[in-house]
A and B are shown apart, each in its own frame.
Chain A
Amino acid sequence: MEYSEKVLDHFMHPRNMGEISDATASGTVGNPICGDIMKMDLKIENNIIIDAKFKTFGCGSAIATSSMATELIIGKTTDEALDITNRAVAEALDGLPKVKMHCSVLAEQAVKKALEAYYLENDMMTPERQERFSILGKDEHSHTDLHGEEKS
């Protein structure tokens, strides 16, 4: 199993690693027992994500996908950020090994967890938006579900 140059670049030089002390919203997903936790802090002004920072406990691709996710959402509106899927994160990294796709799911979940908190706190959650958060109900480690077909 080998990582793409881009994954290694984001792992070796993570973008936006750290925390935002006055974050508008935060989300933490994952589980130490499964070996990965991502914490995402967002700074949002006028529904635009003006800053994002992460901290991640996990493997190389977990760190790289967190880093890439922050790059993809900074400057976007919150609704635009909802469109960023795990596949988009993986593609932006020139792909991930199959067994690592769950890391990109975690990255999408971390962003969505923070956005969910933002919408709820500001009373902006609509049924339409609510639908976009269905991924949060999915366990990225229930091997039969999201990436079960990728286990060999």
Chain B
Amino acid sequence: MDISFEQRMQEAAQLPRIYFDHAATTAPRPEVIQVVMSVLQDFYGNPSSFYKEGHKAARILEESRALIANGLHVLPEEIFFTSCGTEADNWAIKGVAHARQGKGRHLITSKIEHHAVLHTMEALEKEGFEVTYLDVDETGLVDPEAVRQAIRPDTILVSIIMANNEIGTIQPIQEIGQVCDDAHVLFHSDAVQALGAVPVHPHDLKCDLMSFSGHKLYAPKGIGVLYKRKGLRIERLMDGGAQERRQRGGTENVAYAAALSKAFQLALETLDEEAQRQTRLRDRLIKGVIERVPHTKLNGHSVRRLPNNANFSFEFIEGESILLLLDTLGYACSSGSACTSASLDPSHVLLGIGMPAEIAHGSLRLSIGRETMDQDIDRFLVDIPLVIHRLREMSPLYDDYVKGKLSCLIPPEGGIDVKITGSYGL
């Protein structure tokens, strides 16, 4: 190899860092920060107060709500501000469960949901609710027909993530929504990763409830939204004052609501062109990585995927090591390996798409964003083979493979549609 890792590490010190973790969070846009500053400075009143400062703040809040509703093609009274996407998920699921338990105590979700949904479901199981966790195929897709078959007379809610946060697979939400509609079962979707990346219209998608978060689309952390179809009654999660049409107590975070509204407007202005641009960059990245690094596969669906998401498995090595080396070369990325979590189990999403644990440990998620350029992809494509090569040289598994003692699970040429069957059986 012509260029060494050490050489690239020295060069990286002089180069700007590259942020490839937009699925984790995004940097607030300058226009959004401007909105936050101006609301905090000039409209600090409590929207519930009965004097001018309060009225002004209330007006900003309602304008923000109306703009978000407009962008989602829904009514302002269907938009409820929350503290984050996790709260919106908790509220939607627990709120339906507790309001409808007279009708039934069965819920349906998938095995590859975000923890905000999965752990909420587990909490409900402890209360005596019954939950069906649907399998997905090897690309991460939920089959709407499987949803239809899982629905029982006592089913009260189906919750399916719109776009997966790890592998980027976009679900057939509208088809699933139709199945739920036909069966008169409520349908919730966590659309945290989808908002600002692809068109999201809850009415068209036949969703009764949908969760969103600000910080995935260049607004600050600490603000989320629950869309709730007009007329649908669910239990409160936050008891308190009469805010949010008496359905969510707590003084409203006006500045951040305005920030989310602004960020959403900005995203919508360039939604199509940005989605196309990022899809092109993403596909360059996917093709380039698989071409340059042997024994590498793409995880998730090759077409039905978020424009900004690439997720790879590199055989014979472990994900956290990849992250550490990439960090020293100037990249911020993420992995589904056990070692990047507090538990020792690899990502439930990767296991959920049928990946053996030994391959799931070697995953890397790259999520690009607005500021990602072709030159960032070019630079990464020089560095990633160096990183993977360096770790494989240390790996006893790779050693065994080279010496013919172990068969590989991902063929040398790798690919975007490689199916893994079996495991090492060690």
Contacts and interface: CB of A to CB of B under 8 A. Distances in A.
Interface of A: 8, 11-12, 14, 17, 19, 28, 31-39, 55-63, 99-100, 102, 141, 143, 151-152
A33 B321 contact: no
Given A17-B394, A59-B339, A31 B426 contact: yes
B321 A59 contact: yes
A19 B399 contact: yes
A60 B320 contact: yes
A151 B321 contact: no
A102 B344 contact: yes
Interface residues of B, number: 29
B339 A55 contact: no
B70 interface: no
B227 interface: no
Given A17-B394, A37-B396, A99-B342, A62 B318 contact: yes
A39 B423 CA distance: 20
Nearest to B316: A57
Contact of B318 (A14, A19, A57, A151): A57
B342 A12 contact: no
Nearest to A152: B342
Contacts of B393: 17
A58 B339 contact: yes
Closest 9 CB pairs of A and B: A59-B339, A32-B358, A59-B320, A35-B361, A39-B396, A55-B396, A33-B357, A57-B395, A60-B324
B342 A151 contact: yes
25 contacts: A31-B426, A32-B426, A33-B358, A33-B423, A34-B338, A34-B344, A34-B357, A35-B344, A35-B358, A37-B396, A39-B399, A55-B395, A55-B396, A57-B396, A57-B398, A58-B339, A59-B320, A60-B321, A60-B324, A62-B318, A63-B321, A99-B342, A99-B344, A100-B339, A102-B344
A63 B394 contact: yes
Nearest to B5: A12
Contacts of A56: 394-396
Most B-side CB within 10 Å, residue of A12, A31, A143: A12
A12 B321 CA distance: 10
B338 A38 contact: no
Contacts of A12: 328
B337 interface: yes
A60 B397 CA distance: 16
Most B-side CB within 10 Å, residue of A31, A59, A99: A59
B324 to A, nearest CB: 5
B7 interface: no
Given A35-B357, A37-B396, A59 B318 contact: yes
B317 interface: yes
A123 to B, nearest CB: 28
A57 B344 contact: no
B401 to A, nearest CB: 11
Most B-side CB within 10 Å, residue of A28, A33, A38, A62: A33
Interface in B229-265: none
- By DSSP majority rule, is chain A's interface helix, strand, loop, or mixed? mixed
B307 interface: no
Given A60-B320, A62-B318, A35 B337 contact: yes
Nearest to A98: B342
B14 interface: no
A58 B318 CA distance: 5
Contact of B338 (A8, A14, A35, A37): A35
B424 to A, nearest CB: 6
B267 to A, nearest CB: 32
Contacts of A102: 344
A141 B361 CA distance: 15
A55 B394 contact: yes
B343 interface: yes
B5 to A, nearest CB: 10
Contacts of A36: 318
B200 to A, nearest CB: 33
Given A37-B397, A57-B394, A143-B344, 19 more contacts: A14-B394, A17-B393, A32-B357, A33-B357, A33-B423, A34-B357, A35-B318, A35-B339, A39-B399, A57-B317, A58-B339, A59-B320, A59-B337, A60-B321, A61-B339, A62-B318, A63-B394, A99-B344, A151-B343
B346 interface: yes
Contacts of B316: 57
B326 to A, nearest CB: 12
Contacts of B324: 8, 11, 60
